[in-house]
């Protein structure tokens, strides 16, 4: 099963959470302004793919880009994937439910992230 990780990222641009999904040989990554278990949908910024090493990494980031600590990790099942939508079912220590990302029409790097815990309706 593919893996996911959420890293709490303290960076010069401010605190955010990196939501990362293993997609083949890289991690598709979005920056979230709050922890991903928040009850309301939030804006997510698509970032460049990251190396798989971040699945297990905690510590400083090179180039003065701050440091990361693991907030959650686990596996996921892909529910739906198009160019503008991604739905996954997460099975982690904190996140156990459905995460959905929908690309916003005004900017390809802006997405809406929502999370629904298992047993609740979206």
Residue range 19-73, pLDDT digits in tens: 999 999 999 999 999 999 987 899 999 999 999 999 999 999 999 899 999 999 9
Q: Following DSSP, what letter does each residue of 51-120 receive, concatenated?
A: -GGGGT--EEPGGG--EEEEEEEEEEEEEEE-SSEEEEEEEESS-EEEEEEEE-TT-TTEEEEEEEETTS
Q: How far, in Å, CA of 115 to CA of 122, rounded?
A: 8
Model confidence at 119, pLDDT cuts 50, 70, 90, reads confident
Kindly report the pTM of this predicted structure.
0.94
Q: What percent of the chain shows pLDDT beyond 90?
A: 89
Residue 14 DSSP one-character state: E
Mean pLDDT across the stretch 67-88? 97
- 3-class DSSP state of 43: strand
Domain ranges, ordered by start, for the chain: 3-117
Assess whether pLDDT exceeds 60 at residue 122.
no
């Amino acid at each position: 099963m593919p893996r996911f990780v959420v890293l709490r990222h303290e960076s010069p641009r401010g605190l955010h959470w990196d939501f990362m999904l293993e997609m083949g040989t890289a991690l598709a990554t979005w920056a979230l302004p709050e922890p991903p278990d928040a009850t309301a949908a939030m804006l997510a910024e698509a970032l460049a793919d990251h190396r798989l090493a971040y699945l297990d990494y905690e510590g400083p980031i090179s180039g003065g880009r701050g440091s990361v600590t693991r907030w959650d990790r686990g596996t996921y099942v892909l529910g739906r994937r198009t160019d503008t939508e991604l739905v996954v079912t997460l099975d982690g220590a904190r996140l156990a439910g459905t995460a959905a990302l929908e690309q916003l029409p005004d900017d390809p790097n802006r997405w809406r992230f929502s999370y629904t815990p298992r047993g609740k309706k979206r």
